[in-house]
Structure 1
Amino acid sequence: MSSSDPTVQPVPASVVEQVDAADVTLSNPKRAVISLGSSLGNRLETLQGAVDALEDTPGVRVKAVSPVYETEPWGVDPGTQPNYFNAVVLIKTTLPPSSLLERGHAIEEAYRRVRDERWGPRTLDVDIVAYQDVVLDDPELTLPHPRAHERAFVLVPWQDVDPEAEVPGRGPVARLVEQVGRGGVAARPDLELRLPE
């Protein structure tokens, strides 16, 4: 986390390492980055429900959860939609990308996600941002996420939980944050998502 924003502290590496050391339930897991967003209903409760649902998924363990940010909607005129709460979750998983995508869609559907408007308001957005170092161009799933490198609402919380992270093919997250800036992305230190026990 940049020293220019003292209100939000990154997750200490020691915390992630402790969780990793305690995890003996997965065999040869892959590391994945999940972006969560909600602009309708009880946004914080929805994001926490998504974190818990990921942890409850066989073959998935949540390793770190970023601070919560309030962000302006992407791709629409300012003020035409409610703001989002956004966060990034680091997981380890034995699921292949396609199964992880299916699980993300199932979690969205559990929160009554509607897909009738591109970039429209939504109860919950669950996006796979990156999966290990996999580069995939498939009609169903592109990895890394094709717009992650230009979205501050993904990059800023991702940098919080993994300051050394890189977007495959795009470079270090820290450098990408510098390029896109932090406009429209406001820290919410009064809100917190819990790491599942």
Structure 2
Amino acid sequence: MSPATRAVLSLGSNLGDRRATLQGAVDLLSAGEGVTPVTVSPVYETAPVGGPDQGAFLNAVLVVDATVGPKDLLELARSAERAFERVREVRWGPRTLDVDVIAFGDVTDDDPELTLPHPRAHLRAFVLRPWLDTDPGAVLPGRAPVATLLAGVEEADTEGEQELTVREDLRLRLPGEAGRVG
């Protein structure tokens, strides 16, 4: 068995029952072969970034330990998107579920199928804030500490376009966790 690699997955949904979709994605991804869930962030509500006019997103980050490779993790992410009937019609358009592999250990790779770390992660508060919640010492490989990157994004966001609202009324759970699911 391969040693586990810590990986960060970003989850987003702005169609249908967004919270149920994110919880379903956490459950599917956590059950993937070679994947052990570590933690899931609080849920944030965010305005869409780019693309056509559309509703607000719910976003979260799932941290996993993976004994599979990054492309296997990407296929698992795509499988979860298909399970929730993700359609790719318009770039940055509305979607039932979006799952991105943000980081896979310290791997940096410019493979066009899976660029690691995610090429726009350092620009997106909806990725950085939830990730920082799960790991205050997190570092985006090849870039900088996540806290530093988030501070830069927040400072540059003079129009409030990347404002985040934590949804304390919505809580995602890892499989096996007890308690109320919001």
Question: So what's the TM-score if we normalise by structure 1?
Answer: 0.84
Corresponding residue to 2:46 among 38, 61, 71: 71
User: Residue 103 of structure 1 aligns to which amino acid in structure 2?
Assistant: L
- Please, which runs of 5 or more residues in structure 2 have no aligned partner? 155-159, 177-182
1:130 equivalent in alignment to 2:103: yes
Deviation readout 1:102-133 (Å, 9 max, x if unpaired):
11101100100000100000000010000000
Corresponding residue to 1:180 among 144, 150, 153: 153
Q: Which residue of 2 aligns with 1:8?
A: none
- Displacement of 1:27 in angstroms is 4.8
Do the aligned residues in 1 keep the contact of 2:51 with 2:91 (CA within 8 Å)? Answer: no
SS at match of 2:168: coil
SS at match of 1:154: helix
User: Residue 33 of structure 2 aligns to which amino acid in structure 1?
Assistant: P
> 2: distance between equivalents of 1:99 and 1:120?
25
Q: Which residue of 2 aligns with 1:168?
A: 141
- Displacement of 1:95 in angstroms is 0.8
Deviation readout 1:35-54 (Å, 9 max, x if unpaired):
00000000000000000001
Q: Which residue of 2 aligns with 1:41?
A: 16
Residue correspondence of structure 1 range 17-32 to structure 2 within 5 A: 27-32=2-7
SS at match of 1:105: helix
- Displacement of 1:184 in angstroms is 2.0
Q: Which residue of 1 aligns with 2:91?
A: 118
Report runs of 4+ in structure 1 exceeding 6 Å deviation: none
- Displacement of 1:76 in angstroms is 3.6
SS at match of 1:130: strand
> 2: distance between equivalents of 1:61 and 1:168?
21
> 1: distance between equivalents of 2:112 and 2:130?
27
Do the aligned residues in 1 keep the contact of 2:35 with 2:68 (CA within 8 Å)? Answer: yes
